[in-house]
Amino acid sequence: MNAAPIAITPGEPAGIGPDIVVQLACERPADEWVAVADPGLLTRRAERLGIALDIQSVDPDAPLPPARQGALRVLPVPLRRTETPGRLDTANAEYVLDTLRVATDGCLRGEFAALVTGPVHKGVINDAGVPFSGHTEFLAERCGGAHPVMLLAAGSLRVALVTTHLPLAQISAAITAERLNRVLHILDADLRVRFGIAHPRILVCGLNPHAGEGGHLGREEIETIAPTLEALRSRGMRLVGPLPADTLFTPRHLEHADAVLVMYHDQGLPVLKYAGFGRAVNITLGLPIVRTSVDHGTALDLACSGRAETGSLAAAIELALELRRRNAGP
């Protein structure tokens, strides 16, 4: 029996998401994935880029047809208004969310084996009157209120986050023993189950410079982080830290690490993206579905230019396929 395909949502229609989807479908066989998008959008984008690609609309109520050479199967979700490349339009904010709803629900029903997401523009969705802090939080709510953990991977470097899209002023209060416990349990479990790592070794950053300098630069490490790690170590988790972020990301520390847990978005992701931008992958842990994503934004200025690179999308698809294979069982 053939495995279920992967669903791909191109993201913001005015950005490079549609570009990289049609470019990648032209570069390699698209027999294991289906785009969830407006077929007209992808047709127009292929034409503007001079790509000969047959956009094959599929009937959501019929069995998925086999992939054809030179074709991209598309599960239709209509745009609210015809896109203008490079120009955001609040009218299409709901379209972007519709593609995510359709693809996520298909994953939950087992029609898709995984979800790969293209870049969205959070600002235009919020400007349309829809509170939206990011894919991670939206998918968690759609999946029934799961607690998501954001993990980015570039080669052997994996960086997970305790907090995601929060203002800096709110981060300290958000780092509680309860949150750390939950995030570390999810990270440890998914490294074992999804990535096949029998005994994950996780390096944990402190929050403050020099991990608090013994309390002189902040007490979060002493009062919250270190006691939580010690309690989890006593239950068998392999945790190292809290470590200063400025020395943690060095070969000596990373050599035997399976993942790094940082306290906030910009503590670890600049390092990860410097190490692997254009080939890094965003993975959401803690969900009942497999979800990977590109590591870049909408790049409105590159839409229809032909200069958008497909490397991160290709890596996200490959990882989704790998996770599908690993979690399919014997």
- Residue ranges for the binding site for a divalent metal cation? 165, 210, 265
Pairwise CA distance, residues 175 & 316, whole Å: 29
**Cα–chain center distance at 126:** 20
In eight-state DSSP terms, residue 202 is E
Give residues with Cβ within 8 angstroms of 34, minimum separation 6: 5, 6, 7, 8, 58, 64, 73, 74, 75, 112
Give residues with Cβ within 8 angstroms of 223, minimum separation 6: none
How far, CA to CA in Å, does 140 sit from each of 9, 129, 145, 268?
16, 20, 5, 22
Pairwise CA distance, residues 177 & 230, whole Å: 11
**Annotated binding-site positions:** 135-136, 165, 210, 265, 273, 282, 291
Three-state SS for 85-147 is CCECCHHHHHHHHHHHHHHHHHHHCCCCCEEEECCCCHHHHHHCCCCCCCHHHHHHHHCCCCC
How far, CA to CA in Å, does 279 sit from each of 26, 53, 152, 284, 321?
19, 24, 11, 17, 16
Structure tokens that stand for 46 in this block: 């292929």
In eight-state DSSP terms, residue 84 is B
Pairwise CA distance, residues 122 & 295, whole Å: 15
Pairwise CA distance, residues 174 & 167, whole Å: 11
Residues comprising the chain, all counted: 330
**Annotated binding-site positions for substrate:** 135-136, 273, 282, 291
Q: Alpha helix (H) ranges present in 157-284? A: 168-174, 177-193, 220, 226-233, 245-248, 251-254, 265-276
